[in-house]
Structures are given as C-alpha cells and as structure tokens.
Amino acid sequence: MKTLLHKSIILTLATIFGLSILTTTAVTAADDPSIKGVLREDIKASMMSFIDSTMISDTYYIYDAVGGRLLELKFAKLHEGIVKKGGFYVSCADFVDKNGTKVDLDFLVIKDGDNLKTIQAVVHSLDGKKRKYHLEG
C-alpha cells in the first residue's frame, strides 16, 4: 500500500507536469478516434467518479486561479471528445454557476497501473471565452 507521502509526491509531480503543459500548449478542439471502446468508457467513468466524489450537496467547487475566486458549479454534461497529451488524457465537462455562467472544465486523466484516475480539473472557458492556456478534449 502506498504511503500518504508517496501519493502526495505523485500528485504533486502530476500537477506540475499538467501545469507545465497548460502554460505552454494551446490545443484546438479535437477528438482522437483511436481512443474508443472500453478505454473511452473508462476515461469518462473516471471523470464522472472524480466529479461525483468531490461534489458537496450537488455543487462542484473549483478554485479559479485566473479569476481569483472559488467557483460553485452545477454539473451539466460530459463532452464526447477525448485526446491524449503526453502521459494523460484530456476531456471536458460543462458546468453552470449560480448566475447562469457556463463554465467548461478540462479534466486530466492518467493511468495508474491497470486503472485510470482523474487527477485534476482546470477552468477551460467561461461563457465560451477560452483561457489563454486552454486544453481541449
């Protein structure tokens, strides 16, 4: 069994890697047709599990570092598109805040042995206005 320190190190490295990609890569909307079948379903299942496990009273909370505020969001739907970037998969989901603002979040999903785990979400766009460093699935 992995220790808490080991898990923290892995998560920290994954976050650093993800942030380095976010600050250096702008990707256009895409869907990798080679990601299909069980793999595609497992990626989506990992994302939904992550979303479900982090919601409190049907609200998803994420800190928007660019906007400098905590967003309180309601889940709307998963996007169909999935792409692979480096060592992780990226796909999006739509959310809405209490003012009706549409918020698109990118989710980073990595392999963990035979499993897939969603490790973080990043604000991709607000009301269709994409972030400068966006990743799309």
pLDDT tens-digit readout, 53-90: 999 999 999 999 999 999 999 999 999 999 998 889 99
Give the CATH number of the domain where residue 72 resides. Answer: 3.10.450
* HSE-up of residue 87 (Cα within 13 Å, Cβ side): 13
pTM over 0.85: no
Question: Total domain count for the chain?
Answer: 1
| Within-domain flag for 136 | no
Amino acid letter, 73? L
For the chain, the distance separating the N- and C-terminal CA atoms, rounded to the nearest angstrom, is 33
| Within-domain flag for 11 | yes
| Range of the structural domain that residue 35 is part of | 4-130
pLDDT tens-digit readout, 119-134: 999 999 999 998 876 5
Maximum average pLDDT range among 4-8, 28-32, 111-115, 133-137: 111-115
The residue assigned the tokens 């990798």 is 32
